[in-house]
Amino acid sequence: MFKVNDNYLKLPGSYLFSTIAKKVNAFTAANPQAEIIRLGIGDVTQPIAPAVIEALHKAVDEQSTTEGFKGYAPDLGYAFLRETIAKNDYEAYGCDIAADEIFVSDGAKSDSANIQEIFSLDNKIAVCDPVYPVYVDSNVMAGRTGTYDPKSETWSDVIYMPCTAENNFCPELPKETPDIIYLCFPNNPTGEAITKEQLQVWVDYANKAGAVIIYDAAYKAYITEKDIPVSIYQCEGAKTCAIELCSFSKTAGFTGLRLAYTVIPKELKCGDVQLHALWARRHGTKYNGAPYIIQRAGEAVYSEAGKAQIAEQIAYYHKNASYIFNGLKEAGYTVAGGVNSPYVWLKTPEQMNSWEFFDYLLEKANVVGTPGSGFGPSGEGYFRLTAFGTYENTVKAIDRIKKL
Ligand code: MLT
């Protein structure tokens, strides 16, 4: 008889956002008249920018001609996009990242889940707590996390680095030395960011400890404050210890189009082995490249018109974030995030845990959010609302919450 990968059987429950969707579907079935406002999963609502749509149309039309037709994309990404990213996202910020250190893919979710494959199972991971659940779950699937304790909701072989109001949502260096450190800033879910000086401490630590940092910068487009780095490579020494994950989803509304990139500098080595070479080998074997038309759309994000239109979209979501942040504050909630991020992180009322508050908001205000405990044990007692809704729905949702 065949055997399954029983690491999958160790996973408690379903993926966070699937659990939420199931609960909301059950509620909707029982209350068909309820007008539900979804501020749970961080999915965008604004249409794709006109400059991007134009590039998409053009790329589609090219497919109808013999000269313009494109088959398999280069598995690491088209040079036109890799060069555009290197110039706009790195050179412009003083980071020395070459186009061939950028790997184009169909999403930061899959990259953040897959990147652990190039590391030995013996490595110990450290994660911020709370954090995007994909980092831990993908390591569970690989068999790197030990045993699960349902009481504390922790894995025996994972180092948890609490990020709570007590430490200003900035993780402290762990007591036990990890091999792989997942950092996500601006953070999902807390919406808080760290300064370049604070990030430099992590880079120095990783270089000294021989650890690698997997830096998820999916929300960098939302940074508004000057001292917050948009890339880990703004820190000295990051090229020898950090991999960076970036996404077009939150930057340019590509959650449906699917486009992302991962940076692995050639200087990042384990002994003589370049991680770059391993990821290139993995990509070559398991991936046939993001579609040409989507990569052309990605290129248009960096055109003059694209940049201006996307800046407007981000301002729109920032306006939502401010409305949520200020509205909740007025209603007496303790709130964080929302300034360098599309997420607002609030403390649940004393008598309610995260899931109780989820049910309460769904039933009493017909508003969907994300329970903090779904992101890790230190998320208990917190709740996340996303600013990615429409402005009208955001206002309605917050006004309903204020009336409770
Ligand atoms: C979230 O809501 O945390 C994100 O949208 C999920 C994702 O990016 O996959």
Same domain, 40 and 59: no
Same domain, 371 and 294: no
Same domain, 218 and 328: no
Q: Which atom of ligand 1 is nearest to the CA of 41?
A: 2
Average pLDDT, the chain: 97
CATH of the domain at 283: 3.40.640.10
Phi, psi of 109 (to 5 degrees): -65, -50
Place of tokens 């090229």: 239
pLDDT band per the 50, 70, 90 thresholds, residue 13: confident
Same domain, 29 and 136: no
Is residue 113 lining ligand 1, measured as CB closer than 6 Å? no
Same domain, 311 and 337: yes
Is residue 188 lining ligand 1, measured as CB closer than 6 Å? yes
Identify the domain boundary among 285, 303, 321: 303
pLDDT band per the 50, 70, 90 thresholds, residue 90: very high
For residue 277, the surrounding DSSP H or E stretch is helix 275-286
Average pLDDT over residues 24-48: 96
Residue 1 is assigned to a structural domain of this protein: no
Please give the annotated binding residues for pyridoxal 5'-phosphate, written as ranges: 72, 108-109, 132, 188, 219, 247-249, 258, 288
Is residue 374 lining ligand 1, measured as CB closer than 6 Å? no
Beta bridge partners of 291: none
pLDDT in the model for residue 15: 82
Checking if the pLDDT of 12 tops 90, the result is no
Mutate to test the pocket of ligand 1, among 15, 24, 39, 43 (most ligand atoms within 8 A of CB): 43
pLDDT in the model for residue 326: 98
Domain count, the chain: 2
Q: What residues make up the domain containing 389? A: 7-46+305-403
What is this model's ipTM?
0.92
Terminal C-alpha separation, the chain: 56
- Sign of the Cα torsion 341, 322, 357, 381 reads positive
Please give the annotated binding residues for substrate, written as ranges: 15, 42, 109, 132, 188, 288, 384
Same domain, 336 and 375: yes
Cβ-based burial of 115 (10 A; exposed 0-12, middle 13-18, buried ≥19): buried
- Residue 307 tokens read as 């940049």
Same domain, 313 and 291: no
Average pLDDT over residues 169-195: 97
Is residue 341 lining ligand 1, measured as CB closer than 6 Å? no
pLDDT in tens, 349-370: 999 999 999 999 999 999 999 9
Residue 338 is assigned to a structural domain of this protein: yes
Q: Whose CA is nearest to atom 9 of ligand 1?
A: 109
Identify the domain boundary among 278, 303, 328: 303
Q: Determine the Cα–Cα distance for residues 242 and 185; give it in Å rounded to an integer.
A: 14
Checking if the pLDDT of 46 tops 90, the result is yes
Q: Determine the Cα–Cα distance for residues 84 and 57; give it in Å rounded to an integer.
A: 20
Identify the domain boundary among 281, 303, 325: 303
In this prediction the pTM is: 0.96
pLDDT in the model for residue 14: 81
Checking if the pLDDT of 187 tops 90, the result is yes
In the chain, pLDDT over 90 holds for what percent of residues? 98
Same domain, 276 and 360: no
- Residue 266 tokens read as 């050639």
Is residue 41 lining ligand 1, measured as CB closer than 6 Å? yes
Average pLDDT over residues 283-302: 96
Same domain, 42 and 185: no
pLDDT band per the 50, 70, 90 thresholds, residue 243: very high
Same domain, 141 and 266: yes
Same domain, 324 and 256: no
pLDDT in the model for residue 16: 87
62 alpha carbon – ligand 1 mean position (Å): 33
Beta bridge partners of 215: 183, 244
Same domain, 83 and 16: no
pLDDT in tens, 104-118: 999 999 999 999 999
